Chains A and B, each alone.
Chain A
Amino acid sequence: MITREDVEHVAVLSQMKLKEQDYILFTKQLEEMLKFVEKLKEVNTDDIEPTASVIPLKNVVREDIMAASFDRDIALMNAPDKDFGHFKIPKIME
């Protein structure tokens, strides 16, 4: 059973400020979706290894050699706000 408080908590974890009607809709829909995935409880998975990726993933390393990357102007070209060659955000402390 998923409650309104659960949805509020998940919204905080997801960094989304939802509207009142969204909480009502998502409480209902998340409840339905979780009920749907409950089905997996039927499956016996004792001693079964989890699959995170279908291919054997290994860490890919390379020599630490300097190479060209984006120019600052290009890296900043999509910035919603910028100043003096930096990304600009609202104040984080008083």
Chain B
Amino acid sequence: MNYTGLKALELAKLIREKQITSKEVTMGFIERIKQKNVKLNAFVNEEFEGAIKTAENCDNILAIGGKELSPLFGVPIALKANMCSEGTKVTCCSKILENYISPYDATVVEKIKKAGMPILGKCNMDEFAMGSSTENSVNGPSLNPWDNSRIPGGSSGGSSVAVAAGLSPLALGSDTGGSIRQPAACCGVVGLKPTYGRVSRYGLVAFASSLDQIGPFSGDIEDNAALLEIIAGYDKRDSTSINKEVPAYSKYLNKSLKGMKIAMPKEYFIKGGLAPDVLEALNSSVEIFKKLGAEFEQVSLPHTEYCLATYYIIATAEASSNLARYDGVHYGYRKKDSKSLIEMMTKSRAEGFGNEVKRRIMLGTYVLSAGYYDAYYLKAQKVRTLIKRDFDRVFEKFDCVLTPTTPASAFKLGEKILDPIQMYLSDIFTISANLAGVPAISLPCGLSDNKLPVGLQLIGKPFMEGELFTLAHAFEKAYGWKNTVNTEV
């Protein structure tokens, strides 16, 4: 039987009812990875042995009548290659970490293991999560399963391809400026960036610490809610995680949208800023929301046009500091036969990092350096305050903000790789949620003229992921998205 078209919660139910075993399901996905991954390049580290062992364990627990099992017990999952999992390679798709074996589990990985979910392996990404297409990966790009000549989005592109192409029912990604939502939109799956502080970042290789957040990829909203419930929560090992109870997100599904107020920021719909087919899909989606009882109003988020510049100062500054640790001393790539410590460090870093990472370290170092700190870094932090205030003001009156996830559907491989600023512009609609620290979800809402998925983004109030699920779930049921590539032979 082919399980790859089934959703994670359906698989969990079949496993719990002993109609199939976790091992059969896991082997099914492993088979599909073996068939498809050579081309799609979604997985960069296959961890099949460990996955099968976990699945067998699950089946043993079920055989003896295990109680209080997690809602996704026995269902396999994939990780992004920047998440630490004990005894496995965590490369961040960088040469500098090509041989790094993690000595410990990230908190999310600990939680996934505790929930009895076999880990199939690690997924491709732009090096250190810097990019929007996976083309910055030392392992080469992943391919979009809807059109193999196109990018899957990034940086968590491998995770989105894994779920879209039916190589894994679920995956985790990380999102610093759109790295979960943009690839979710490009590949026609659901991707959530939770509120900053909702999910522990302990064991996530840091890129920009005030923006990074881990979140779930899934085929639909129900699966996404179930997975968030497993990974969310306070962790004393991450001082930015927040001690706030994790709600039962499934309780937010199947609710009416009557009286819910959705804001449409005019700055996200300006003429020329959006492909016509994306705009058309968005307009049809708004009609669906209206039929479901939601109320719409146009609003202004006046500092929107400054988000990208603010982001590229803050994110690169934080990255330059976070990536200072890769010096060839304790772990990672070391240039052999160096005559001095400085030579070893400067050559290890120059040879170990790819160009995009170097570029960002350099920009970040520049904006933090003496004489430029106030003009760039401090200025960006102040503009960040104004961007956050824009959202605070809108959320006084509205439950969420609706925008496109991306300005256009997936672009061609190679199209933007030589022009960093063009590449950065593909994240123009997703960056604001990271700067403001608020949750945002992308879900499929239509097809472009060339039959590629189009994503819709809902941005919510801090810690109101539940409300986002309410809105997204009602829309999903009314719209009836069909993934046609997850069972494709």
The answer to whether B365 and A13 touch across the interface, beta carbons within 8 angstroms, is yes
Q: Is the CB of B239 within 8 A of A54?
A: no
* Distance between B173 CB and nearest chain A CB, rounded to angstroms: 20
Indicate whether A40 sits within 8 Å of B380 (C-beta atoms), given known contacts A54-B437, A55-B240, A78-B332.
yes
Residues of chain A contacted by B361 (CB below 8 angstroms): 14, 16
Task: List residues of A whose CB falls within 8 A of some B CB.
Answer: 6-7, 9-11, 13-19, 22, 25-26, 29-30, 32-34, 36-43, 45, 48-55, 57, 60, 62, 70, 74-75, 77-81, 87, 89-92
Complex interface residues of chain B between 301 and 336 (CB less than 8 A to chain A):
303, 305-306, 308-310, 312-313, 320, 324, 327-334
User: In the complex, what distance in Å separates the CA atom of A85 from the CA atom of B305?
Assistant: 54
Shortest distance in angstroms between B393's beta carbon and chain A's nearest beta carbon? Answer: 15
Determine how close the nearest CB of chain B comes to the CB of A91; give it in whole angstroms. 7
Which residues of B, 339-371, contact A by the 8 Å Cβ criterion?
339-347, 349-350, 353, 355, 358-359, 361-363, 365-367, 369
Which of B104, B305, B359 has the most chain A CB atoms inside 10 A of its CB?
B359
Please indicate the chain B residues that have their CB under 8 angstroms from the CB of A92 in the complex: 340-341
Task: Answer whether A45 and B379 are a contact pair too, CB < 8 Å, given A55-B242, A57-B239, A79-B331.
Answer: yes
Q: A57-B239, A57-B240 are in contact. Are A16 and B383 (CB under 8 A)?
A: no
- Contacts between chains A and B (CB distance < 8 A), count: 168
Closest to B385 in A: A51
Query: Interface code B371-388, partner A: CB below 8 Å = 1, 0 otherwise?
Result: 000001011111111101
Number of B interface residues at 8 Å Cβ cutoff, please give it: 69
Question: Could you tell me the distance in whole angstroms from the C-beta of A55 to the nearest C-beta in chain B?
Answer: 5
Q: Considering the chains assembled together, what is the distance between the CA atoms of A11 and B350 in angstroms?
A: 10
Contact A22 B358 (CB under 8 A): yes
Contact of B210 with A by CB under 8 A: yes
The 8 closest A-B pairs by CB, nearest first: A54-B437, A50-B381, A78-B331, A80-B334, A45-B382, A17-B346, A37-B309, A51-B384
- Asked whether any CB of chain A lies closer than 8 Å to the CB of B99, the reply is yes
Min CB gap B214→A, angstroms:
16
Given A29-B420, A54-B210, A55-B197, check contact A14 B380 (CB 8 Å): no
**Which of A6, A41, A89 lies in contact with B329, CB distance below 8 A?**
A89
Complexed CA–CA distance, A34 and B358 (Å): 15
Which one of A15, A60, A81 has the highest number of Cβ atoms from chain B below 10 Å of its Cβ?
Answer: A15
30 intermolecular pairs with C-beta atoms under 8 Å apart: A6-B366, A7-B362, A10-B365, A13-B369, A14-B361, A15-B346, A16-B346, A16-B358, A16-B362, A18-B350, A22-B355, A26-B362, A33-B359, A36-B309, A37-B380, A39-B305, A40-B310, A40-B376, A42-B306, A45-B386, A48-B385, A50-B381, A51-B382, A54-B210, A77-B103, A78-B101, A80-B328, A80-B329, A89-B344, A90-B340
Q: List residues of chain B with CB within 8 A of the CB of A49.
A: 382, 385
- Given the complex of chains A and B, what is the CA–CA distance between A16 and B361 in angstroms? 10
Write out the residue numbers on chain A whose beta carbons fall within 8 Å of the beta carbon of B363: 30, 33-34
B346 to A, closest residue via Cβ: A17
Partner of A17, one of B350, B359, B381, B435: B350
A11 and B327 contact, CB distance less than 8 A: no
Q: How far is the CA of A57 from the CA of B310 in the complex (A)?
A: 21
Contacts of A33 in B (CB 8 A): 312, 359, 363, 420-421
Report the separation of the CA atoms of residues A18 and B362 in the bound assembly, to the nearest whole angstrom.
Answer: 11
Shortest Cβ gap from A34 to chain B (Å): 8
Complex: chain B residue closest to A76, CB-CB: B330
**A84 to B384, alpha carbons, bound, how many Å?**
49
In the complex, whether B298 has a CB less than 8 A from a CB of chain A is: no
Given contacts A29-B420, A37-B380, A89-B341, 16 further A-B contacts (CB under 8 A): A15-B324, A15-B342, A15-B346, A17-B349, A30-B359, A33-B420, A36-B421, A37-B367, A45-B379, A48-B382, A50-B382, A50-B385, A62-B236, A80-B329, A90-B340, A91-B341
Chain B positions 115-156 with a Cβ under 8 Å from a chain A Cβ? none
Is B436 located at the chain interface by the 8 A CB criterion?
Answer: yes
Q: In the bound complex, do residue B331 and residue A90 qualify as a contact, i.e. CB atoms below 8 Å apart?
A: no
Is the CB–CB distance between B100 and A78 below 8 Å?
A: yes
Residues of B with C-beta under 8 A to A77: 101, 103
Whether A90 touches B338, Cβ cut-off 8 Å, given contacts A14-B361, A50-B382, is yes
Find out whether the CB atom of B353 lies under 8 angstroms from the CB atom of A16. Answer: yes
A57 to B312, CA, bound (A): 22
Q: Is B196 an interface residue when CB atoms closer than 8 A count as contact?
A: yes
Check A81 against B320 for contact (C-beta < 8 Å): no
B379 neighbours in A (Cβ, 8 Å): 40-41, 43, 45
